[in-house]
Amino acid sequence: MYIDPFNPNATTWFEYNVCDLTDFKCSFVDGSVSWEIQDCSDALYDKDTWMMATNEEFRKWAWRNGHFNVLRYFDDYHGIDWGCNSTMACNWEPLDEEGALYKYHCENECGDYTCEDWVWSYEEEDWMVSECPVEWDAEMAFAKSARLARGYDETIGKAVDAFCPNGSCVVNATTALVMQAD
């Protein structure tokens, strides 16, 4: 259920099959006009309505509440690429039965990830929080590097052309390294 922050009398409900998002139902009530429940399913298949309805506040709510698959489905349906949502979605992973050890994982659509270890200190009577040990994920590193490079696609090419015409700086650097090794 989504309550519009700009109209607290307006509420939207979504019901859908996560395996088949074409099996989708949207209901809407605007209490400032009428308390009659209206079907809004067809409206979301209209591109203009979808773009107007999915403001930043709604997208954050959908991401935090696990409805990001609905956003992706309708964005894909309408051919819209909003870029990635940087809002972090987090969950707690209990690591013991006593409730004294947890991992707190957060991730977003952009591929960003954070992790914290939470350990209860009986001596301090407080939580000791530290970053999770870093686990190298080559696929994640490659994806982040590719996303960064796409953002600077033309800039990188222009910089190489300006400072390293015809790849001469690579040849010069290689020659210098070989001479140092000898």
Residue 100 lies in a domain: yes
Burial of residue 177 (number of CB atoms within 10 Å: 0-12, 13-18, 19+): exposed
Q: Is pLDDT of 129 > 90?
A: yes
* 121 pLDDT higher than 80: yes
Is 157 among the domain residues? no
Q: What is the mean pLDDT of the chain?
A: 74
Q: What is the pLDDT of residues 28-58, one digit of tens each?
A: 777 777 677 777 777 778 888 787 777 777 7
Mind listing the pLDDT tens digit for each residue in 150-182? 655 566 666 666 666 666 665 555 565 556 655
Query: Which H or E run contains 68?
Result: helix 68-78
Residue 31 and residue 22: Cα distance in Å, rounded? 28
Residue 101, in any domain of the structure: yes
Domain boundary among 51, 78, 105: 78
Which residues constitute the domain of residue 8? 2-78
Three-class SS state of 58: helix
Q: Is the pLDDT of residue 105 over 80?
A: yes
Question: Of the candidates 78, 94, 109, which is a domain's last residue?
Answer: 78
pLDDT digit string (tens) for 50-92? 877 777 777 777 777 777 777 788 888 888 777 777 778 888 9
In whole angstroms, what is the distance from residue 129 CA to residue 124 CA?
12
d(CA 62, CA 72): 11
Domain boundary pick from 61, 78, 95: 78
Assess whether 39 and 88 both reside in one domain.
no
126 and 88 assigned to the same domain: yes
Q: Is the whole model's pTM more than 0.85, yes or no? A: no
